[in-house]
Structure 1
Amino acid sequence: MTLKQFLTLACLSLIIFNCKNKVSNDTIAIEKEWINLFNGENLDGWTPKFYKEDTGVNYLNTFRVSNGVIQVNYDDYTSFDERYGHLFYNALFSSYHLKFKYQFTNQWMEDAPHFTYRNSGIMFHTQDPKTILKNQNWPISVEYQILAEANKNEPRPTGNMCSPGTDIVIDNKISDSHCVRSSSKTYKWDEWVHGELIVYKDSLVQHFVNGNKVLEYSKPQIGGDILIRDFDSAIKIDGKLLKEGYIGLQAEGQGINFKDLKIKVLD
């Protein structure tokens, strides 16, 4: 090998090495954009709010951590008593990509409303949990509704939208339905399902189930009185577009597990 050939080979090796390093560093940077919302060990960074309780009270230890998952667990209950609960992450988000996995358990409080069976949700663009009044039954929010099969061979899609104290625009008009069905298939109650939510402030919202887009709508805003009662009228300003809010896990009488909760903030 001549000196010229050696130098050429050395230069090419250096270029390849630098390119590999750049790809590796970029990959690391991309991975670092994801923020883990749950540390897998405890509920640090989360705040519960239950109907009939002050903000911060984890009624009968409903929200708990076991084996690296956040559980909605009713072991300590004798009756449900309308104790609708939500567990809020202590940060405000505006535009973001949220990922999570969920799995229902075979635990359901039979005195809870029938529609809560194998039913839960991720609340987003919610009001500050500190502004939810003690006797307010539900947060003003938009919901990524989670469902599983209730009756064999009966379609029951997941990744739907529900709107407690809010409205959304779909097909260029405000939806007249409290809940809008997605195009997802029906899943068994004990399956781990991968959910995703992409939100761009008060413009576009997209729901995903196991990697497939199943629903899209726009202009989330405060409106309507469905489900909501005993709220602070100074907070509920109908027609106000929701550009940001908190994220909450739902507890409404049905046991469920959540894990791998992470978020990427978008421009």
Structure 2
Amino acid sequence: MRFDRAWLALVVMAAPALAQDSKEQARQLAGEPVAGAQTLRLVDIPKATGKPIALFDGRTLTGWTPWLGYADPAITYRASPGDTPIGVGRDTSSDFAVRQVDGAPAIWVKGETWGSLVHRADLRDYHLRLQFKWGDKTWAPRKDQPRNNGLLYHSHGVPGEVFGTWRPSAEFEIMRGSTGMIVAVGGKIRGHTDVAFDPSLIAPHLRYRVGGRQIDIVNGTPTWNVEAATDAERPIGQWNTLDLYVVGDRAVHVVNGVPVAEVRDLATIAANGSRQPLTHGHVQLQSEGAETWFRAIAVEPIKTLPRIVVAK
């Protein structure tokens, strides 16, 4: 869920001066571009402190609650008060189902109507692992854009609180070219990470970097998301393994064994402006314009986080 990627792309094409302004903002935040990408590795990988728990039983969607946004996803970010999301107002078996693929059961997400599957477990201090791969179908309004989905964690609040479609949360982005990106889902979510200015990206031109400058991730601002350190996703049609490590208000994103991002100080902002640590919540599997398969979804308890280091 990179909320306004399409809008930003149009703005960049239509208004080069505005695009340059966004790059100047990124330069002021993160400094001059750095030379060369980092090769990152994961160390001090924690041992589980208990038995793994399957979030997908391989037969049914037991434990998962569906929610659908608007019948026309194109209005998601500009819906008026009179527009009403579908929610649970229709049979969702044609949106989410358990089907066989590659000889094994998986959760099938059609992607045509935006929304999510929310798991009932309120999770904290865990290592979550799942596998995903893209299906064949993509749908308007993102039919011609990079395939897009997401693993949302520390989800809370009410269904549809964010754009009538999702719950407030932190996001482990699942998107071609950007899997592992950090996104704040909802205007009340905050988090810190370290970045470098990368002018090759669309706005906000910020990429995760060990030893980079700290920024505050805030939706609706020039720091509304941070790109993954590298694109570690496999070609379309192949399965990818995602590892999400979460302890307290910190998280580490890993794609196919490659650490790509770290976020800390996750928090919610109350009406009075106070910052409350965000340390637990539900996970959501998104539906956002692309057919997607998920399988082998399990969590195990942990007490410490792995560290991301630069390989020598």
TM-score by shorter chain over 0.5: yes
| Residue correspondence of structure 1 range 101-112 to structure 2 within 5 A | 101-112=131-142
Match of 2:275 in 1: 239
What SS does the corresponding residue of 1:38 show, helix, strand or coil? Answer: coil
Match of 2:241 in 1: 194
Report the residue type matching 1:196 in the other structure.
D
| Residue correspondence of structure 1 range 216-235 to structure 2 within 5 A | 216-222=262-268
Cα distance in 2, alignment partners of residues 87 and 94 from structure 1: 19
| Residue correspondence of structure 1 range 252-263 to structure 2 within 5 A | 252-263=288-299
Q: Percent identity?
A: 24
Match of 1:136 in 2: 164
Deviation at 1:131, TM superposition (A): 5.0
Match of 1:147 in 2: 175
1:143-197, CA deviations, whole angstroms, 9 ceiling, x for partnerless residues? 100122xxxxxxx242111111122101343134222111233531211010000
What SS does the corresponding residue of 1:61 show, helix, strand or coil? Answer: coil
Cα distance in 1, alignment partners of residues 280 and 141 from structure 2: 34
| Residue correspondence of structure 1 range 1-267 to structure 2 within 5 A | 33-51=51-69, 52-55=85-88, 59=92, 61-67=94-100, 68-73=105-110, 80=112, 83-112=113-142, 115=145, 117-128=146-157, 130-133=158-161, 136-148=164-176, 156-165=177-186, 166-171=189-194, 172-175=214-217, 176-184=222-230, 185-202=232-249, 204-222=250-268, 239-267=275-303
Cα distance in 2, alignment partners of residues 56 and 209 from structure 1: 35
Q: Give the TM-score taking structure 2 as reference length.
A: 0.61
User: 2:67–2:159: 8 Å Cα contact kept in structure 1?
Assistant: no
User: 1:54–1:134: 8 Å Cα contact kept in structure 2?
Assistant: no
User: 2:118–2:284: 8 Å Cα contact kept in structure 1?
Assistant: yes
Report the residue type matching 2:229 in the other structure.
S
User: 1:53–1:135: 8 Å Cα contact kept in structure 2?
Assistant: no
User: 2:253–2:259: 8 Å Cα contact kept in structure 1?
Assistant: yes
What SS does the corresponding residue of 2:276 show, helix, strand or coil? Answer: coil
Deviation at 1:254, TM superposition (A): 0.6
| Structure 1 residues 118 and 54: CA distance shift in structure 2, 3 A | closer
Report the residue type matching 2:185 in the other structure.
P
Corresponding residue pairs, total: 212
What SS does the corresponding residue of 1:182 show, helix, strand or coil? Answer: coil
| Structure 1 residues 60 and 39: CA distance shift in structure 2, 3 A | closer
- Give the aligned CA root-mean-square deviation in angstroms: 2.8
Report the residue type matching 2:94 in the other structure.
N
Cα distance in 1, alignment partners of residues 90 and 281 from structure 2: 21
Q: Larger helix proportion, structure 1 or 2?
A: 1
Cα distance in 2, alignment partners of residues 63 and 147 from structure 1: 19
Instruction: In structure 2, list runs of 5 or more residues that go unmatched.
Output: 1-47, 70-84, 195-213, 304-312
What SS does the corresponding residue of 1:59 show, helix, strand or coil? Answer: coil
Cα distance in 2, alignment partners of residues 145 and 262 from structure 1: 18
| Structure 1 residues 58 and 215: CA distance shift in structure 2, 3 A | farther
Q: Give the TM-score taking structure 1 as reference length.
A: 0.70
What SS does the corresponding residue of 2:275 show, helix, strand or coil? Answer: coil
What SS does the corresponding residue of 2:56 show, helix, strand or coil? Answer: coil
Cα distance in 1, alignment partners of residues 50 and 162 from structure 2: 38
Deviation at 1:113, TM superposition (A): 7.3
Instruction: In structure 1, list runs of 5 or more residues that go unmatched.
Output: 1-29, 75-79, 149-155, 224-232
